[in-house]
Amino acid sequence: MINKVNVGGIDVAAYQSIDELINSSILTIEGVQPGVGIAINPEKIMAAKKDPLLMSILQSATLRYPDGVGVSYVMSRRLNSKVARIPGCELWERLMVRSIEQQTPVFLLGATQSTVSQTSEKLIALGVNVVGCKDGYFTKEQQQSVIDEIVDSGAKIVSVALGSPRQELFIFECLKYAPNTFFMGVGGTYDVFTNKVKRAPHFFRALNLEWLFRLLSQPSRLLRQGNLVKYVYYYLTKKV
């Protein structure tokens, strides 16, 4: 039984490791669990408080996991036991590797043509059963043909990198046509996987300071990170 903790109005599942999440919620002994996985971090929680569409998107996900240290910390305190932080990009990479065991068919959507092709080649070289890939630069009119391509591919895992909230909106539309598939939004993960964008160095990651690294390397994020400060204030005053 997986514990859930309400953080700012959103139930988030508590896992002890990435593999525990995959075994119990995605690649279970009954096969691939269909649905939608969404990473929950303080920025999203604060944004959802002001944006009913985002809130309903988050609440419709079948799997919500703590991607930011701010969320896993609050959960650990409430449960009185350690809850793992599950960075979305690490979950995706591990899921790709774990999909090799049963040769689960995977479809990759999003990012530029060169990035998604390189991602696909790299995964195929590892042994992943990639049944299709498509860049994320298509129009609204082309969306249905993208959905058809995914359905026709027979994929059971689809990762979607279109940026938020577009990727989530796409996923819920596509799920209607592929109800037996697991979808996850992965943001800029393919860019990191193909070394186009660097993740924070180990030093920052080990100290849970990835957010600080991003702020230092991209000061324009300061505005977005204002939400992080608000989140801490809300936590201290027991509003999340």
Q: What angle, rounded to 10 degrees, do the helices at 113-126 and 88-98 form?
A: 50
Q: Does position 143 bind ligand UDP by CB under 6 A?
A: no
DSSP conformation letters of 193-229: HTTSSPPPPHHHHHTT-HHHHHHHH-GGGHHHHHHHH
Q: Which is nearer to ligand UDP, 87 or 187 (CB)?
A: 187
Q: Which is nearer to ligand UDP, 205 or 221 (CB)?
A: 221
Q: Which of residues 148-167 bind ligand UDP (CB under 6 A)?
A: 161-164
Q: Does position 70 bind ligand UDP by CB under 6 A?
A: no
Measured distance CA(201)–CA(186) in Å, rounded: 20
Please provide residue 177's backbone torsions phi and psi, each rounded to the nearest 5 degrees. Answer: -95, -15
- Selected binder of ligand UDP within 42, 70, 87, 187 (CB under 6 A): 187
Q: Does position 34 bind ligand UDP by CB under 6 A?
A: no
Stretch that binds ligand UDP, among 11-19, 96-104, 105-113, 228-236 (CB under 6 A): 105-113
How many residues interact with ligand UDP (rule CB under 6 A)?
13
Q: Does position 191 bind ligand UDP by CB under 6 A?
A: yes
What is residue 12's three-state secondary structure?
strand
Q: Does position 111 bind ligand UDP by CB under 6 A?
A: yes
Please give the C-alpha separations between residue 21 and each of 14, 133, 184, 226, in angstroms, as whole numbers. Answer: 9, 25, 13, 30
Residue 168: partners with Cβ closer than 8 Å, 6 or more residues away: 36, 38, 57, 185
Stretch that binds ligand UDP, among 10-18, 98-106, 107-115, 198-206 (CB under 6 A): 107-115
Q: Compute the least distance from the CB of residue 161 to ligand UDP, in Å.
A: 4
Q: Which is nearer to ligand UDP, 140 or 202 (CB)?
A: 140
Q: Which is nearer to ligand UDP, 14 or 158 (CB)?
A: 158
Q: Compute the least distance from the CB of residue 176 to ligand UDP, in Å.
A: 21
Measured distance CA(168)–CA(161) in Å, rounded: 9
Question: Omega of the bond prior to 165 within 30 degrees of 0, cis?
Answer: yes
Q: Specify burial of residue 238 (Cβ count, 10 A radius: 0-12, 13-18, 19+).
A: exposed
- Selected binder of ligand UDP within 97, 188, 221, 224 (CB under 6 A): 188
Q: Which is nearer to ligand UDP, 34 or 188 (CB)?
A: 188
Rule CB under 6 A: which residues touch ligand UDP?
110-112, 136-137, 161-164, 187-188, 190-191
